[in-house]
Structure 1
Amino acid sequence: MRGYRALARATARAALTYRLSFVLGIGTVLVQLVALLAVWHAILAEAPVNGFTWPQMRAYLLVAFAAGTLVSILGDFRMAFRILDGNVALDLVKPVDYQKARLAESLGGLWIELLLIVVVVGGTLALTGGVDVPAGPALALFATSMLLLVPLKFLLVYVSTLACFWTQNYMGVQWARLAVINLLSGALIPLVYLPHWLATAAQWSPFAGLTSTPALIFLGRVGVRDGLVLVLVQLAWVLVLWFGARLIWRQAVRRLTVNGG
């Protein structure tokens, strides 16, 4: 455990050292939040659309911002470049599990991300008004959903980055992942605005757990029983992706070739 804690601390120190890079990365999500708030305010100012009022959509977008900010200091580019240039071989000789080590790195900056979420969400609420917070079981389900979001998001990024063992470039992989996640998670628009067949498929996919599930629970658009089902779907995908990633890793390292002495 000492090695994993050291990796987590190193990630936090790197984020604080290279502040400009971190701020630029978070700035992308912040700009998206401001733009979406402006667009949806214009759309919903007069009347609800598909059951969403402006206050509900504002709360939805704030949850989406929080979800998008969590696990944003993963360092997938660093992992990808180490795979592509062969330096991942050095990681293989370290006395830590590769997958758990990358998870520890992603958790290292979690407190920084949480602090940023509190500042941005608090500032937005101060300027635009408060939101209704769920109570009792719904609040507990929301907290559980946000907690499960952390390993779920890590695993989706981790698995996609392992594709670098089979590709020669990471940019295409990243763009494809971002496009799919933004659409099917509900980060850009709630899934109810998608065609019914696509919304249904997305809700049962791992992507919905990144935004739609916690947001719907927070807004009370699903009951406690349905919310529990959605949280269990999140948990199931975490388990499937965790063990699936280990199988992919075993196949990936067989493709690793290191030249030289």
Structure 2
Amino acid sequence: MRAYRAHARASALSALAYRGNFLLSLGGVAFQLVALLAVWKVLLGGGERVGGFDWPHMRAYLLVAFASGALVGTFVDFRMSFRIRSGLVALDLVKPVDYQRARFWEVVGGVWIELLVVALVVGVSFAVSGPPDLPPGPELALFATSMLLLVPLKFAVVYLSTLTCFWTENFVGVMWARQAITNLLSGALVPLVYFPGWLATAAQWSPFAGLTSTPALIFVGQAAGRQAVLLVAVQLAWVVVLWFAARALFRRALRQLTVHGG
């Protein structure tokens, strides 16, 4: 366990050392929040209620979407992809730690810094527009659980996509594709209730819903009681499935690894 905590500390220190890149990546998510708030303010600011959302609910939904988007940023996957493509991953493989767990603890090391940025942005939003209404105690606990599960779930999605670097020459296209699919099917851009029925159902049962839609719906009260418990259970199930799927894909990826040294 000490070795994994060392990976977490190293990741946090690296994020602080390259804080310009780190803050720029989070700044992009914050800009998306401002843009979406402006758009939905125009659409719902007159008191309209569409798809079960009025402006206060949509504002709270978008704040949760921002928080979920800011956590587990792109810093770790770029480092991982570079080491795979350059062959430096061979040095990671000879270390007496599990490769996947080490990468997860690197993500955990950066999460606390991301949480500080999230707290700052959300605090500014509260100061300007006031805090949203909090859900009742049981739903608030489920929301906290969902946000906690979001970290390993998002890591699994990012980790799986980054493993494709064992087969590809470039990671940027893979990252763009992942971000496009994730932003759409997670409900980060548009709540899933606005999707066509078949697509909304498919997205809600996919792992992507747990990245934004599940915690956001619980927070704004669109999912409560048994429905909220079911959504969190689905989120947990996908964490387990994707974690072990990633381990299977990693074993297959190692067959592709060829490192030339001199």
- Which aligned runs of 4 or more in structure 1 are off by greater than 2 angstroms? none
Residue by residue over 1:31-55, the C-alpha shift from the partner in whole angstroms, topping out at 9 and shown as x without a partner, is 0000000000001012122221000
Matched residue SS, 2:53: coil
8 Å CA contact retained: 1:67, 1:149 = yes
Distance 2:115 2:144 in 1: 13
**Quick check: 35-44 or 106-115, which moved more?**
106-115
Whether 1:108 and 2:105 are equivalent positions in the alignment is no
- Aligned runs of 1:159-238 on 2, under 5 Å? 159-238=160-239
Distance 2:243 2:19 in 1: 31
Residue by residue over 1:189-236, the C-alpha shift from the partner in whole angstroms, topping out at 9 and shown as x without a partner, is 100111111010000000000000000001111121000000000000
The aligned residue for residue 6 of structure 1 is 6
The aligned residue for residue 147 of structure 2 is 146
8 Å CA contact retained: 2:150, 2:210 = yes
Q: Which amino acid aligns with 1:54?
A: W
Distance 2:22 2:135 in 1: 32
Q: Please state how far the C-alpha of 1:2 moved relative to its aligned partner.
A: 1.3
Q: Which amino acid aligns with 1:230?
A: L
Distance 1:136 1:258 in 2: 54
The aligned residue for residue 82 of structure 2 is 81
Distance 2:228 2:257 in 1: 43
8 Å CA contact retained: 2:44, 2:55 = yes
8 Å CA contact retained: 2:149, 2:236 = yes
Instruction: Report the TM-score, using the length of structure 1 for normalisation.
Output: 0.98
Distance 2:115 2:169 in 1: 34
Identity of aligned residues (%): 67
- Aligned runs of 1:48-127 on 2, under 5 Å? 48-72=49-73, 74-127=75-128
Q: Please state how far the C-alpha of 1:260 moved relative to its aligned partner.
A: 2.8
Distance 2:74 2:108 in 1: 8
Q: Please state how far the C-alpha of 1:74 moved relative to its aligned partner.
A: 4.5
Distance 1:234 1:242 in 2: 12
The aligned residue for residue 39 of structure 1 is 39
Matched residue SS, 1:109: helix
Distance 2:95 2:6 in 1: 13
Residue by residue over 1:71-124, the C-alpha shift from the partner in whole angstroms, topping out at 9 and shown as x without a partner, is 116411111111111111111101110000000000001111111111110110
Q: Which amino acid aligns with 2:162?
A: T
Distance 2:63 2:152 in 1: 20
**Corresponding residue pairs, total:** 261
Matched residue SS, 1:10: helix
Distance 2:37 2:110 in 1: 27
Matched residue SS, 1:254: helix
Residue by residue over 1:126-156, the C-alpha shift from the partner in whole angstroms, topping out at 9 and shown as x without a partner, is 1012211012211111010000000000000
8 Å CA contact retained: 1:74, 1:105 = no
